[in-house]
Every structure is written in structure tokens, then in C-alpha cells.
Structure 1
Amino acid sequence: MKNFWRTWGVVVISGVLIVAALLAGADITGSATAPFGLPDALMIAAAVVAGYRIVWSAIQALRIKVISIDLLVSVAAIGAMLLGNWWEAAAVTFLFAIGGALERATLNRTRKALSDLVDSAPETATKLNEDGSTETVELWELIPGDTVLVKNGEQVPVDGRVISGRGGVDEAQITGESVPAEKAEGSEVFAGTWLRSGVLRIEAIGIGADSTLAKIIHRVEDAQDDKAKTQTFMEKFSTWYTPGVMVAALVIGLATMNVELALTLLVIGCPGALVISIPVSIVAGIGRAAQDGVLIKGGEYLETAAKVDTVVVDKTGTLTNGRPELTDVESLDPAYSEEDVLTLAARAETASEHPLADAIIRGAQDRGLVVEMVDKAEPVTGKGIRAEVGGHTIAVGSADLLDGEVDPTRILELNELGRTAMFVGVDGHAIGIVAVADTVRDDAPAAVQAMHDRGIRVVMATGDAERVAANVAAELGVDEVRAELMPEDKLDIVKELQAEGRTVAMVGDGVNDTPALATADIGVAMGAAGSPAAIETADLALMADRLPRLPYALGLAKRTVGTMRVNIAIALLTVLILLIGVLFGGVTMAIGMLFHQASVLLVIGIAMLLLIPRLKKNESASPQKSELDEKVTA
């Protein structure tokens, strides 16, 4: 209630006084011949109540040598009162006060994403003591390394690592994900999220201001206050426009000797809708993005993101899963089934520390096969591994580990597909083939297609081999492939595209891609929830590790800029129409202010449309089964 009166109190009191004046028989025809009475006093009171803040604001602006919109309204209202037009003075100040209240209320509404984040910040935690007892403590009492207990339905109070327990955590406030994320021992959790099932014991790492939530709040706050280039231009424009309106009104008043006409020109010349149209759009757009798990650094970056026509994407971990997966299992000997081949290969690889070994073991376990450790094994540098299994020698690797001639045709075919294929042998005899590869992310094809639908060119830049990159590119349908690159080569690609006149967004891991990310028009970080540095430095941070959020974010930026342009056009058109109406008669000061405030309301309403959620549900859903999962199920 207190906030209501702070925003709307002046409007309500002034409005009541105007209604009372009208009921008492106030004259709104503009005639000043009737004797002064109670209705006129009530109108003056209404004008003073609604106008004193406007006059004070104009004086404050003049002190810093700024001619503001408030000055135009103040001069018009005071001039109307001097002419005895009490109704005009009251109507102008009342309508302007309504516009100001609407602007404040709207900006508060568009900043809801920030207020929601602030409100979601936890204040207490259940600390688990060394003797097993628990106590509720304030966040500032915790130190890194403390253990906190979180039960079903409670809020996670700190950033940390799960020590024990299992549960589903709603991370919508952080990542925009609508489906709870499963957490178990070793999982990361974030302050401000909610445990929807299970019980977790968490080692505190980031507390209070050091938490991811606090960094997001700080970033959104700065971003919503950051000015776009268009906004900066409009502010510079208004510093010349407002004095220009005053001079024009003075000249026309002197030329026509019509003071009321001059005052009316002051009112209709107010660029209120023009001034509010841009900041309200920016705040709404950035706020909507934050609610959907996308952090945009500020208005300037939002405008740049709207112009992006080329996206340079790193392959590993961005378009692909970033770790090898088992893709193929084939039997070359009728005596051994594919399950036999995979079981023997996996058992042999239990003695290996190579990344490909883990892919084979996980692939076997995903198929429900029992993988036992081997007693004895011998890694063969550059060729593979030999292991003793049940009195037999099992080899996994190149043909050099086998006896006699082996047909390499199938191995070469799989290699051409970008997979790493290996023979599986028993006692020197080839019984099968296993192959692994870094597989394409489930959401990557949809993301690439969404960017194509928006007319955005997709360039894949990777340090991987040409053959592997070409196969991934063919599967995804990217427009251009650059392979076998060093980090500085990616930087050259970004510069080359910019030299062609393109606006480039670079998506990378923020480590070896740092030079290219810094040079690109928009540097994009994926999965930034787990990287405080990315939240602070990225121009556009996707909190969830989901590539489809990128075309969504670029589309939102484009809609926001489009909204700004529409609002600017409405504001200018309103002033032009009112100017014509004044010059050709029929538009009074009160009518001019009414239409002016209607245009303010209209541009605010259009900007508010940006707050409507448009993120598709399937972009927040749990990942679908991978290609390998489907093969195993089949």
C-alpha cells in the first residue's frame, strides 16, 4: 500500500480535486469571464498538487543546466494559470502526473526479473555440525567448507558441491530450465534454487555475494541500467529538441500574439513518449531474457545482438557432447556376438587410462553388460592394449596387435565417418570392431536450423581434424567449416568475417577461444551458471548448457530493437499529428496533453509485450535420448 501511494498518491488526490471542481460547476470551456469561486479554487489546488513535483523537477534539472520535459509542462501550466485557464492548468499537470506514474510503475514491472531474483536470495541455512547436530544460521555466519543440509521443499542457500544424497533441484531462477535437475554426489548446486525431492548434504563454496545468484543479480542490474546507442542518441537529441520547442513556441506566440497557442505548442511538443520508449523496451527485453536464463550485458550489446548475421561456433563441447561415446560394435567372427566383442573389449580397457577406454566401458555398461576388471594388462604405446582374460590374450587397438594380415576396409570406412575404430582380437585373431566418436549434441541440429531460419550464417571453427569436422558439419548442415585451427586462427576468422561487413557472434568455451570471443561483436558463453567469470565477462551468457537458447536470445534482441523503432515512430507521429491539429485549430492544451499521455501509454504497452514468455517448452525439457541410447534400446 505504501508503494501504491508513493507512485499514485499525487494522481489520486489531484484527480479527486478535479472531480470535485467539476461537480461544483467548474467551467472547462476556457472562458475566464465568470467570477472566481470554489470550483476555480479546487482546480488550482488540483494543479498545484499534481504540478509541484513537476516544477521542482524542472528546477533541479536547470541547476545542472538541463532543459527537461518537466520545464515545458511547468511553463505551460503556469502560463495557463496566469491566463485564468484553471481547467487547462489542472488537466495538463494531472495528465502529466498520470504519465509519470505509469512510467514508474511500468519500469518497476519490467524490472520484475531483477526483483524476483533479489526476492529469491536465501537468508538462512541449516548448518550440519561435526557432531551430527543441526542449527539454523544466518548466511553471513557460514564459511566456505561448512556443510549445509537441505531437505525436500527447502531452498538451497549456497553455491556448493553435493557431498551425499540425491534429489531433483528446480534451477529455473538460475538457468531458466523448467524441469528439475537430478543432483547426486559430486553435483554442483546453486544458491536460490529449490530442492523438489530428496535430501542433500552440501559443501558450501560460494556464499552470499560470492554466489552465482548474486553475480546474476549484479549483472542484470547493471545491464538494465546500461544505455543503448539509440537511447544515448535520443537523449542528446532531446537536449536540443526541448529548447527548440521552447524557442519555436516563443516565436509563434510573438508572431501571432496568441499566448495560449504558444503554451499549447509547449505541451504537444513534449517528447515524453520518445524518451520513455527506449529505456522501457531495453529493461523489458533484458528482464525477459534473464527470466529465460539468458544474461545480456546491456542495452548496447542487445542492439548489437539484434544485428548478428553470422555465428562462429566451436565444435567440441558446443556442437558436440565434448567426450567420446561408443558408436559402433561389429562382429567379424560368427563365434562371437556383438555383446561378446564389446564385453571383451571393455574388460581389456579397464586397465587403460585412455579417454577412449572410458567410452567403451560406459558403452558396455549402458547395454547392461557386466564389465569385470582384468588381472594383467600391457598398454602398447600408439597401438592399443593387450590384456589377459580367462587365459586368453585380448587385444584392442590397431592391426599391429594382431597376427597375420587383417582387412582394414571397414576400419577405414568408419574413420572416414569421423570415428575412431579399433580391432578387437582374441589370441591374435580379429573377432570384431568397436568405434567411438565425439557425438553431436541432441539439441545442436535444432539450434543450427533455428539460426538458419533467422537468416544467420553458421560457421564451425575447430582444432579437430578436417575429416572429423566435415562429418559433424554434414550432420548438422552448417554453412562453412574451418578445421585444424589454433586459437589465433579463430581470431583471424572473426576478423575476416567482420572485414566482410558481417556482425559476428562467437560461441566458445572461454579458455582457448578467449581472443576470438573478445574480438567478436558479441561474445557468447554457454553453461555460464557454473562459471562466475563468464557471467561477468560474456556479452551474452546462456546460463543453461543449451545451444537453442542462442537463436532464441538473438531473436529476442531483434524483437526488442524492433519494439524500440515502432515506439519511436509512434512518438514522432503523435507530435506531428498534434502539431497539425494545433496549427489548423481544434486541439487545446488539455486535449494535446491527453493525446500525448495516450501515446506514452501506448509505447509502454507495446514494450510490455516483450515480457510475454515465448521460450518453447521443448527448449527447457530434459534432453532426449542420444543416438547411442536409441541404438542400445533397439
Structure 2
Amino acid sequence: MKSFWKTWGVVIVSGVLIIAALLTGADITGSATAPFGLPDVLMIAAAVVAGYQIVWSAIQALRIKMISIDLLVSVAAIGAMFLGNWWEAAAVTFLFAIGGALEKATLNRTRKALSDLVDSAPETATRLNDDGSTETVELWELIPGDTVLVKNGQQVPVDGRVISGHGGVDEAQITGESVPAEKAEGSEVFAGTWLRSGVLRIEALGIGADSTLAKIIHRVEDAQDDKAKTQTFMEKFSKYYTPGVMVAALIAGLITMNVELALTLLVIGCPGALVISIPVSIVAGIGRSAKDGVLIKGGEYLETAAKVDTVVVDKTGTLTNGRPELTDVEVLDPDYTDDEVLTLAARAETASEHPLAEAIIQGAHHRGLAVDMVDKAEPVTGKGIRAQVGGHTVAVGSADLLDVEVDPARILELNELGRTAMFVGVDGRAIGIVAVADTIRDDAPAAIKDLHDKGIRVVMATGDAERVAVNVAAELGVDEVRAELMPEDKLDIVKELQAEGRTVAMVGDGVNDTPALATADIGVAMGAAGSPAAIETADIALMADRLPRLPYALGLAQRTVRTMRVNIVIALATVAALLAGVLFGGVTMAIGMLVHQASVLLVIAIAMLLLRPTLKEDKDATGKLSTKDAAQEALTP
């Protein structure tokens, strides 16, 4: 209630005084023949109540040698008072006070995403002591390494690692995800999130200011205060524009000897809508993106992101899942089924430490096949592995590993598709083929399509083999492939594209690709939750490991810049229309202020449209929820 009166108190008191003056017969025609009385006293009181803060602000600005909008309104109102036009003085100050209150309220509304983050910061935690007892403590009492207990329906108080337990955690405040994320032993959790099912014991790692939530709040605070290039230009423009209006009004008054005309020109020349149009759009755009798990570092980066026409993106872990998975099981001997071929291969691989072995074993598990340990095994360097399985010798590897000649044509075909294929043999006889590969992410095709729909060119840069990169690129439809690269080569690609006149966004992890991220016009870190380095390094940090958030972020930047441009046109058009109205007659000081404040409200309302939620669920190429989303959907209460 206190904050309400602080914002609206002056407006309410002034408005009541104006209504009282009108009810007691105040003259609003500008006639000076009526005798001075109570209605005039009430109008003067209304002007003083609404105008004293405006005059004080103008004086404060003059002390730092700045001619502000408040000075224009102050001179106009005081001039109207000297002319005895009490209604004009009261109307101008009252309408300007309304505009100021609405601006303040609107900016508070656009900053709601930040205030929601601040309000979501936990203050206490349930600490689990060594003797098994629990106690509720303030966050500052915790130290890294403490064990925290979180039950169903409670808030996670710290960044940490799950020691034991299982549950679904609502991470919307951090990543913008709409469904709970499944957490089990070894999983990362973040302060400010909510446990929607289960019980977790968590080792505290990031506490208070060291938590991901605190770093996000700090970053959004800085970003919303950061100025876009357009805003900086407008502020410089108004620095000269406002004195220019005063000089023009003075000259007009001297030429026409019409003081009221000069005062009216002061009112209609206020660049209020022009000045507020940019910051309110930036605050709204950055606030909306933060709520959706996209951190944009500031107004300047928001503007630059809107110009991006080329995205350079790594393959492994960004366009693909970043780990090998079983892709093919083929039968060469009719005496065996594909499940039997896979089971034998998986059992043999239980004795292998090769990175591809786990992919085969997991592939068998996903099919519900039992994979027991082998009796004994012999890895053969560069060829594969031989193992004793149920009294038989099972070999998994190259053709050279088998004791008989086999046609390698199918193996070569799979290799050309970017897959690593291996023969499976039993007692020297080839019975099948298994293949593994780093598979494309479910959400990658839809993300690439969204980028193309926005007219953005996609360049895939990877250190992987040319044939693998080309196959992935063909499946995704990326525009250009750069393969077999060293880390420093990505930096050269960014520079080359910039030399062609392109505005380049580089997508990386914020650490390994730091040179390229720093050189690109916009550096984007994916899956930045829990990574302070990524949050600090990137110009845009996608908190969730979701590729479709990239086109969403660039699209939001484009919408924000379009909103800024529309608001600038409205502001300038309003001033031009009012000026024409004054020159050709019919626009008074009060009408000018009314229209001016209406234009301020209009540009604010347009900027507020950016706060509407537009982020859709991340879909795969078929339009279904991505694999991870589908798995999490079961956890939704």
C-alpha cells in the first residue's frame, strides 16, 4: 500500500482537487473575465500538488547541467499560471504526473521477471547432521559439503549434487523448462527450483551468492540496465533536442508576440514517448527472455542478435547427442535373430574398455535384453575383442578379427553413412553386424528449420571426419559444412564470415570455444545452467540444453528491435501531428499534453506485448515432444 501511494498519491490528490474545482464552477475556456474565487484556488492547488515534483526534478537536472523534459513542462505550467490560465497549468501538470506514474508502474511490471527470480531465492534449508538429525538453518549457516534434505513440495535451497534419492524437479525459474526434470544420484540441482515428487539428499556446492540463481539475477540486473546503441543515440539526441525546443518556442513567441503559443510549443515538443520507447522495450524483451531461460547480456547484444544472419554451430553435443548410440543390428546368418546377434555382441563388449562398447551394451539394455558378464575375453588391439560366451568364441570387430573371409561391402556402406560398423562372429563364422554412431538430437531438425525460416544461414563447424560431417549436414539440411577442424580454425571461420559482411552468432560451450565466441558478433552458450563460466562468457546464455531456444532467442531479439522502431515512429509522428495542430490552430496546451501522454502510454503498451509468453514446447522433426521432454512428461504431477 505504501508503494501504491508513493506512485499514485500525487496523481490522486491533484485529480480530486481538479474535480472539486470543476464541480464548483471552474472556467476551462481560458477567459480572464470571471472573478477570482474558490474554483481558481482549487485549480492552483492541483497544479502545485502535481507540479512541485516536476519542478524539483527540473532543478536537480539543471544542477548537473542537463535540460530535461521536466524543465519544459515546468516552464509551460509556470507560464500558464502567470497568464492566469489556472486550468491549463493544472491540466498539464496533472497529465504529466499521470504519465510519470504509469511509466514507473510499467517499468516495474516489465521488470517482474527479475523480481520473480529474486522472490524465488530460498532463505532457509533443512540440514542433515552426521547423527541423522535434521535442523532448519539460514542459508548463511551452510558451508560447501553440507548435506541438505529436500522433501516433496519443498524448494531446493542450494546448487548441489544428489547424493541419494529420486524425484522430479521443476526447474522453470532456471531453464524455462515447462516439465519437471528427473533427478537421481549424481544429478545436478539448482537453488530456487522446486521438488515436485520424491525425496532428495543433496551435497551443497553453491550457496547464496555462489548459486546459479544468484548469478542469473546479477546478470539480468546488469542486462536490463545496459543500454542499446539506439537508446544511447536517442539520449544524445534528446540532449540537444530539448534545448532546441526551448529556443524554437522562444523564437516563436518573440515573432508572434503570443506567449501562450510559445508555452504550448514547449508542451507538445516534449520527447517523452521518444525517450521511454527504447528502455521499456529493452527491459521487457530481456525480462521475457529471462523468464524463458534465455539470458541476454544487455541491450546492445539484443540489438546485434536481431541482425544475425549466420550461425556457426558445432556438431558434437550441439547438433548431435555427443555420445555414441547403437544405430544398426543386421543378421548375416539365418540361424540367429537380431536380438541374439545383439546379445552376443553386448556380452562380449562387457570385457571391453572401448568407448563404443558402452553404446552396444546400452542398446541391448534398451531392447530389454539380458547382458551377463563373459567368462573370459581377449582384446585385440586395433581389431576388436574376442570373448568366451557360453562355451563359444564370440568376436566383435573388423573383418581381420574373424577366421574366415567376409565381404566388407556392407561395413563400408555403413561407414560412409558416418557410422562405426563391426562384424559379430561366433566360432569364426560371421553372424551379423552392429553399428554405432553419434546420433542427431531429436530437436535439431526443427531448430535448423526455424533458423532457415528466419532467413539465417547455418554453418556446421566440427573436428569430426568429413564423411561423418557431410552425412549429418545432409540429414539436418545445414547450408555449409566445415569438417576436420582444430579449435583455432573456428575462429578463422568466424573472421572469414564477418569479412564477407555477415553478422555471425557462434554457438559453443563458453569455455573451449572462447576465442570464437569472443570474436563472433554474438557468442551463444548452450546448456549454461550450472556453468558460471558460460553465463559470464557468452553474450546470450541458453540455460536449458535445448537447441530450439537458439531461434527463439534470435526471434525475440528481432521482435524487440521491431517494437523499438515502431515506438520511435509513433513518438515522432505524434510530435509532428501536434506541431501541425498548433500551427493551424485548435491544439491547446492541455490538449497537447493529453495527446503527448497518450502517445507515451501507447508506446509502453506496445512494448508490454513483448511480455506475452511465446515460447512453445521444444518439438522434434515429427512435431512430437523431444525424447527428453517425453521422458519428463511422466513426472508431471
TM-score normalised by the chain length of structure 1: 0.98
Instruction: Give deviations 1:312-359, integer Å, cap 9, x for gaps.
Output: 110000000000000001111122211111111111111111110000
Letter in 1 for 2:200: L
- 2-structure distance, mates of 1:622, 1:187: 22
The aligned runs of 1:370-381 (5 Å cut-off) are 370-381=370-381
DSSP-derived class of the 1:460 partner: strand
DSSP-derived class of the 1:617 partner: coil
Q: Which residue of 1 aligns with 2:257?
A: 257
The aligned runs of 1:85-484 (5 Å cut-off) are 85-484=85-484
DSSP-derived class of the 2:529 partner: helix
Letter in 2 for 1:601: L
DSSP-derived class of the 1:312 partner: strand
Q: Which residue of 2 aligns with 1:59?
A: 59
Letter in 1 for 2:401: L
Q: Which residue of 1 aligns with 2:626?
A: 623
- 1-structure distance, mates of 2:103, 2:344: 71
Letter in 2 for 1:498: Q
- 2-structure distance, mates of 1:508, 1:210: 23
**Residue 9 (str. 1) matches residue 9 (str. 2):** yes
Contact 2:510 2:533 (C-alpha < 8 Å) held by counterparts: no
- 2-structure distance, mates of 1:375, 1:544: 43
The aligned runs of 1:432-581 (5 Å cut-off) are 432-581=432-581
Shift of 1:618: 4.3
Letter in 2 for 1:409: A
DSSP-derived class of the 2:126 partner: strand
Shift of 1:35: 1.8
Instruction: Give deviations 1:3-39, integer Å, cap 9, x for gaps.
Output: 1101111100000010011111111111122221111
- 1-structure distance, mates of 2:190, 2:568: 40
Instruction: Give deviations 1:464-522, integer Å, cap 9, x for gaps.
Output: 00000011001100011110011111111111111111111011123332211111100
Contact 2:511 2:534 (C-alpha < 8 Å) held by counterparts: no
Instruction: Give deviations 1:515-552, integer Å, cap 9, x for gaps.
Output: 11111100001111121111122101111100001101
Shift of 1:362: 0.2
Instruction: Give deviations 1:161-196, integer Å, cap 9, x for gaps.
Output: 111111111111110000111111111110000011
- 2-structure distance, mates of 1:215, 1:407: 58
DSSP-derived class of the 2:506 partner: strand
Contact 1:313 1:459 (C-alpha < 8 Å) held by counterparts: yes
Q: Structure 1: which 5+ runs fail to align?
A: 628-634
- 1-structure distance, mates of 2:145, 2:628: 36
Letter in 2 for 1:204: A
Aligned length: 627
Shift of 1:227: 0.2
- 2-structure distance, mates of 1:205, 1:368: 37
Q: Which residue of 1 aligns with 2:18?
A: 18
Tell which deviates more after alignment, 507-516 or 428-437.
507-516
- 2-structure distance, mates of 1:327, 1:602: 56
Report the RMSD for the aligned CA atoms in angstroms: 1.3
DSSP-derived class of the 2:321 partner: strand
DSSP-derived class of the 1:34 partner: coil
Contact 2:285 2:611 (C-alpha < 8 Å) held by counterparts: yes
Contact 1:179 1:622 (C-alpha < 8 Å) held by counterparts: no
- 2-structure distance, mates of 1:139, 1:443: 38
Letter in 2 for 1:402: L
Q: Structure 2: which 5+ runs fail to align?
A: 631-637
Per the alignment, do residues 619 and 227 of structure 1 end up closer, same or farther by CA in structure 2, a change over 3 Å counting? farther
The runs of 4+ residues in structure 1 deviating greater than 4 Å are: 618-622
Per the alignment, do residues 424 and 441 of structure 1 end up closer, same or farther by CA in structure 2, a change over 3 Å counting? same
- 2-structure distance, mates of 1:509, 1:383: 34
Per the alignment, do residues 622 and 413 of structure 1 end up closer, same or farther by CA in structure 2, a change over 3 Å counting? same
Contact 1:76 1:266 (C-alpha < 8 Å) held by counterparts: yes
- 2-structure distance, mates of 1:24, 1:450: 63
- 2-structure distance, mates of 1:388, 1:422: 18
Shift of 1:622: 5.5
Contact 1:549 1:619 (C-alpha < 8 Å) held by counterparts: no
- 1-structure distance, mates of 2:451, 2:390: 54
- 2-structure distance, mates of 1:226, 1:417: 48
- 2-structure distance, mates of 1:625, 1:98: 49
Q: Which residue of 2 aligns with 1:631?
A: none
Letter in 1 for 2:6: R
Contact 2:263 2:589 (C-alpha < 8 Å) held by counterparts: yes
Tell which deviates more after alignment, 331-340 or 357-366.
331-340
DSSP-derived class of the 1:300 partner: helix
Contact 1:374 1:388 (C-alpha < 8 Å) held by counterparts: yes
Q: Which residue of 2 aligns with 1:632?
A: none
Per the alignment, do residues 257 and 233 of structure 1 end up closer, same or farther by CA in structure 2, a change over 3 Å counting? same
DSSP-derived class of the 1:529 partner: coil
Contact 2:510 2:537 (C-alpha < 8 Å) held by counterparts: no
- 1-structure distance, mates of 2:222, 2:299: 10
Per the alignment, do residues 81 and 608 of structure 1 end up closer, same or farther by CA in structure 2, a change over 3 Å counting? same
Letter in 2 for 1:391: G
The aligned runs of 1:58-77 (5 Å cut-off) are 58-77=58-77
Letter in 2 for 1:26: A
Contact 2:347 2:371 (C-alpha < 8 Å) held by counterparts: yes
- 2-structure distance, mates of 1:214, 1:517: 24
- 2-structure distance, mates of 1:273, 1:252: 24
Letter in 2 for 1:306: A
Instruction: Give deviations 1:254-275, integer Å, cap 9, x for gaps.
Output: 0111101000000000000000
Contact 1:113 1:287 (C-alpha < 8 Å) held by counterparts: yes
Contact 2:446 2:548 (C-alpha < 8 Å) held by counterparts: yes
Q: Which residue of 1 aligns with 2:44?
A: 44
Identity of aligned residues (%): 89
Shift of 1:404: 2.7
Shift of 1:625: 7.7
- 2-structure distance, mates of 1:133, 1:343: 47
**Residue 605 (str. 1) matches residue 608 (str. 2):** no
Q: Which residue of 1 aligns with 2:633?
A: none
- 2-structure distance, mates of 1:353, 1:622: 34
- 2-structure distance, mates of 1:375, 1:235: 78
Shift of 1:382: 1.4
Contact 2:509 2:528 (C-alpha < 8 Å) held by counterparts: no
- 1-structure distance, mates of 2:629, 2:321: 10
DSSP-derived class of the 2:627 partner: coil
- 1-structure distance, mates of 2:316, 2:530: 18
- 2-structure distance, mates of 1:156, 1:287: 23
Instruction: Give deviations 1:400-455, integer Å, cap 9, x for gaps.
Output: 11113210000000001100000111222211110000000000000000001111
Shift of 1:575: 0.3
Instruction: Give deviations 1:131-152, integer Å, cap 9, x for gaps.
Output: 1111000000000110111111
Shift of 1:394: 1.4
Per the alignment, do residues 548 and 618 of structure 1 end up closer, same or farther by CA in structure 2, a change over 3 Å counting? closer
- 2-structure distance, mates of 1:26, 1:280: 38
DSSP-derived class of the 2:148 partner: strand
